[in-house]
Amino acid sequence: MITHQIHLFQIGIIVFSLLISIVFLYLIAKFVQSKLIYIVENIEIGFKIKKLREEKNLSQEQLANLLEISQSKLSKIENGRIRKIEINLILKLCKFIDIQFDDLVA
């Protein structure tokens, strides 16, 4: 009987741990969706973006329009004056330039 109660207690701890893990993962997912995630301090990414844009024969204005940002902001990103880039902007860029996310940020 005592052994049975110990097993039930252990199962309860496992279930509680799983619930805590699920809540934690849910909160992480919400944080990512809130667009608060940035590619931080990656000055090289701007130069990569410029090179890729030029390879696709796009002007800054054309790419900026596709990304729904100003040409001025794209210029600052390409020149390394903006180092924190929103993840959703990087994902849009990957789609339009046809490059894998990992290849761009690596």
Strand duo 38-39 + 85-86: pairing:
antiparallel
Q: Which of 21, 99, 86, 24 is nearest to 55 (CA)?
A: 99
Q: Write down the pLDDT at residue 40.
A: 47
Single pTM value for the model: 0.62
Q: Supply the DSSP symbol for 62.
A: H
C-alpha atoms less than 13 angstroms from C-alpha of 88 in its C-beta half-sphere: 8
Comparing 43 with 98, which gets the higher pLDDT? 98
- pLDDT-based confidence at 15, cuts 50/70/90? confident
User: What's the rounded Cα separation, in Å, for the pair 82 and 42?
Assistant: 9
Query: In which band, very low, low, confident or very high, does the pLDDT at 31 lie, cut at 50, 70 and 90?
Result: low
Q: What is the DSSP string of 5-41?
A: HHHHHHHHHHHHHHHHHHHHHHHHHHHHHTT--EE-S
Q: What is the pLDDT of residue 101?
A: 84
Q: Where residue 102 falls among pLDDT bands split at 50, 70, 90?
A: confident
Between 60 and 29, the more confident residue is 60
pLDDT, average across residues 4-31: 82
| Residue 64 CB coordination number (10 Å) | 19
For residue 11, the model assigns a pLDDT of 85
| Number of Cβ within a 10 Å radius of residue 49 | 21
